[in-house]
Structure formats: C-alpha cells, structure tokens
C-alpha cells in the first residue's frame, strides 16, 4: 500500500480520519498523541531554496495552464470542424434528395406527355367527319397494343421468302 509521513506543526492530541475510496475506515477517527520532541517539520531547506522552488512551481503551473488552454482550444477547434463536416454532409444529403424528387417529377411529366402524344396519334381525321383509329402502337413492354390490326407475326424460319413459297 501507500506510506504517508506527516509531521504535525505542534505537540498535542490530533484526530486522524482515514478514507478508502471516499469511505471512512472502520474504527476511525483515530486519536494520535504527538510528543514535544516529534513536533515541527524539519527545516532542511533554506529560504532561498524555498523561493526558488516556488518560482519553479509557478513556472510549471503557468506552463500547465497554458497547455490546458491550448488543449481546450484544440478540442473546440476539432469539435467545430466536426460540426461543419456534419452540416456539410446534411446539406449534401438534402440536395441529393431534392434532385431525386425533381428527377422523379420530370420523369412522370414525360410519361404523361408521351401517353398524350400516343393517344393523339392513334386517331386521324379524314374527310367527311370520319375518324379512323389506329391501334398499332407498340407499348413499352415490347409487345403490340391490344386490338392491333396487325396482330402477332408468324414465326420466321430465318430465311427470306422465295417465289416457290407463294401459293396460287
């Protein structure tokens, strides 16, 4: 364990409280009697050494405060940089989402416009007030529209028709 030495400044009875992890030790506080010969700290240092040590302690304390301020500034700077980066990412995500929504709207407008164009082109006016409907539009799935006058093509043999193929 730890070994502590304390020399009281005067003789007499003193009360000693021992704490372990912030809790008093059982049986405490303890009474300590200090005899006349054991009182007073041994002065081995001169007054100049004490002043020099105090100046060194002041320098060390000043350096410690300066280092603490610099560390605090660096931490604030890092936190500010992280916050700016987070805001930048949020802005990029918002711009991406808005662009995606605008693209979806534009695609929907184009689909509606294409459908209207298809409907307009499937009926033609002729003389005398007659309207002829053409249902030969090929839809987006690759097949012909239902009701097409053309109908499905017969399977091809892979060769071109010749005169001998014709039926008279």
* pLDDT at residue 57 in the model: 84
* pLDDT at residue 123 in the model: 65
C-alpha pair distances (Å), 2 with each of 14, 51, 152 = 21, 29, 99
**What are the structural domain ranges in the chain?**
47-113
Region of 147 (left: φ > 0; alpha: ψ -120 to 50; beta: rest) is: left
For residue range 17-73, what is the model confidence (pLDDT) as tens digits? Answer: 777 777 777 777 777 777 666 555 444 445 556 666 687 888 888 999 999 999 999
CB 55 within 8 Å of CB 37: no
CB 31 within 8 Å of CB 13: yes
- Cα 50 from Cα 57, distance rounded (Å): 10
Is the pTM of the predicted complex or chain greater than 0.85? no
For residue range 147-158, what is the model confidence (pLDDT) as tens digits? Answer: 444 455 555 566
Residue 15 makes CB contacts below 8 A (sequence gap 6+) with 29, 30, 31, 32
For residue range 61-115, what is the model confidence (pLDDT) as tens digits? Answer: 899 999 999 999 999 999 999 999 999 999 999 999 999 999 999 999 999 999 8
* pLDDT at residue 41 in the model: 47
The dihedral built from the CA positions of residue 18, 24, 27 and 28, taken in this order, carries a sign that is positive
């Amino acid at each position: 364990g730890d070994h502590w030495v304390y020399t009281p400044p005067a003789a007499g009875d003193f009360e000693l409280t021992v704490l372990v992890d912030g809790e008093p030790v059982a049986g405490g506080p303890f009474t300590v009697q200090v005899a006349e010969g054991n009182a007073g700290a041994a002065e081995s240092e001169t007054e100049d050494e004490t002043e020099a040590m105090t100046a060194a302690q002041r320098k060390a304390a000043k350096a410690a405060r300066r280092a603490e301020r610099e560390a605090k500034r660096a931490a604030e700077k890092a936190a500010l940089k992280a916050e700016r980066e987070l805001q930048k990412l949020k802005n990029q995500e918002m711009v991406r989402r808005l662009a995606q929504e605008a693209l979806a709207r534009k695609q929907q407008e184009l689909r509606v416009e294409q459908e209207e164009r298809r409907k307009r082109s499937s009926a033609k006016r002729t003389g005398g007030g007659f309207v002829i409907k053409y249902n030969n539009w090929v839809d987006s799935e690759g097949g012909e529209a239902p009701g097409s006058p053309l109908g499905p093509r017969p399977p091809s043999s892979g060769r071109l028709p010749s005169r001998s193929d014709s039926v008279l």
